[in-house]
Amino acid sequence: MKHLMYRIIIITLVCLFLIRNPLNTGEHAYGKDNVLEHARHAAPDPYLLARNTAENNSYISEDDIIITIDKPDKEAGIKTPEKVVTENRKEEKEEKKKSSHSRTLISEYLEKGKKFEARNELSDLYFAESDNAKRLEIKNKLDELNAELVFSRIPSPDAFLYEVTPGDTLNKIASKFDTNYELIMCINKKVRTNIRVGERLKILNGKVTVLVDKSDFTLTLLLNGYFIKQFPIGIGKSDKTPRGVFVVDNKLINPVWYSPDGIYQFGDPKNVLGTRWIGFEDQEGLYGYGIHGTTEPETIGKEMSNGCIRLRNEDVEELFNYVKAKTEVVIQE
């Protein structure tokens, strides 16, 4: 009888111990054992979370059971919709702050008569701006500044003055400064190639490149990466105008059109090239592309060509003066 009593007492003590100190199964206090294995990878569900508010008591009462949502692991890199929205708003605020700072800086430059610095800042702002009305406002100001900085005989940081010496010709001067004589004539408002000793000519200082944007049907002339002139364009139908970086290979006045249907001389109603042709160097799979004028000015601003970029004749004639062999042309969406 005594042995039976001892056994009952021992069993009772063991049970009390197990109740007060449950075995650690390797799981945590989160309930749903069917999702514990995948909890790190799945979207968070509500869980039962046990907490013990008593300082020296391992017993968990019913009042200590609460429902909670497991928060995503920060290291997992998962963004909640709220976080994405917050980050987008922060980016928008940063863009507005940068835009506001740029406009303030531009105003300060203009007040101090620093038109060159203002033009460069405006150029950066133009390409960063997405609102069409604001872009037009910026473009109008850029045109106003470039009329003096680039397209006049007034000295500027964009250019230098060269004094003609005996034996000089426009071709020799253009070759000396890696430009083309048409551009020198255009900048200096010359209608003839005659020059005289001692005459001072304004020469643009830097690299001219062309940026074609298919998304808004524009061709922009850049000098050292800054906006100096823009023209409206027409592009290829059915996305035939390729994207990429091209290089000018040749320039033709009153070009002949070698079309898939035949050869058409300049002036032929079937010749759609207009008054100028600026051809690109061929690339693998891309042959015969270039920039030209048009006999159909109503197609400017539309996708109507076979893949080339077309401008109004008066615009392509002006562009013709600014580009030369090896001028870089970037075509983007």
End-to-end Cα distance, the chain? 96
Query: CATH 2.40.440.10 in the chain, residues?
Result: 208-332
Which of the given ranges, 35-44, 180-189, 227-236, has the highest pLDDT on average? 227-236
Confidence of residue 146 (pLDDT cuts 50, 70, 90): very high
Confidence of residue 100 (pLDDT cuts 50, 70, 90): confident
pLDDT tens per residue across span 63-82: 544 444 444 444 445 555 55
Q: Which of 3, 15, 28, 308 is catalytic?
A: 308
Cite the DSSP H helix spans in 71-180.
Answer: 81-111, 115-128, 132-149, 170-176
15 is catalytic: no
pLDDT of res. 318: 96
Please name which of 215, 290, 213, 283 lies closest in space to residue 248, comparing C-alpha atoms: 290
pTM of the entire predicted model: 0.70
Report the alpha-carbon distance of residue 280 to residue 309 in Å, rounded: 11
Q: For residues 199 and 197, what is the distance between their CA atoms, to the nearest angstrom? A: 6
Average pLDDT of the residues of the chain? 82
Structural contact between residues 235 and 311, judged by C-beta atoms closer than 8 angstroms:
no
Q: How far apart are CA 130 and CA 227, in angstroms?
A: 16
Give CA–CA dist 330/259, Å, rounded. 25
Among residues 28, 41, 186, 292, the one annotated as catalytic is: 292
Helix then strand count (H, E) for the chain reads 7, 16
CATH topology of domain 159-204: Membrane-bound Lytic Murein Transglycosylase D; Chain A (3.10.350)
38 is catalytic: no
Q: What are phi and psi of 77, to 5 degrees?
A: 75, 15
Contacts of 204 (CB under 8 A, 6+ apart): 150, 158, 159, 179, 183, 187, 223
Name the band, by pLDDT with cuts 50, 70 and 90, for residue 2: low
> Residue 170 has what pLDDT?
96
Between vectors from CA 52 to CA 47 and to CA 58, what angle results, nearest 5°? 120
Closest listed residue to residue 29, CA positions, set 45, 51, 53, 44: 51
3-class DSSP state for residue 190? coil
Mean pLDDT within 31-58: 42
Model confidence pLDDT, tens digit, residues 250-282: 999 999 999 888 999 999 999 999 999 999 999
Task: Give percent above pLDDT 70 in the chain.
Answer: 71
Structure-model confidence comparison of residues 120 and 79, the more confident one = 120
Q: What's residue 11's pLDDT?
A: 66
Fold of 208-332: L,D-transpeptidase catalytic domain-like (2.40.440)
Q: Tokens 């964009």 map to which residue? A: 158
Q: Outline which parts of the chain fall under CATH 3.10.350.10.
A: 159-204
159, 162, 189: which is closest to 173 by C-alpha? 162
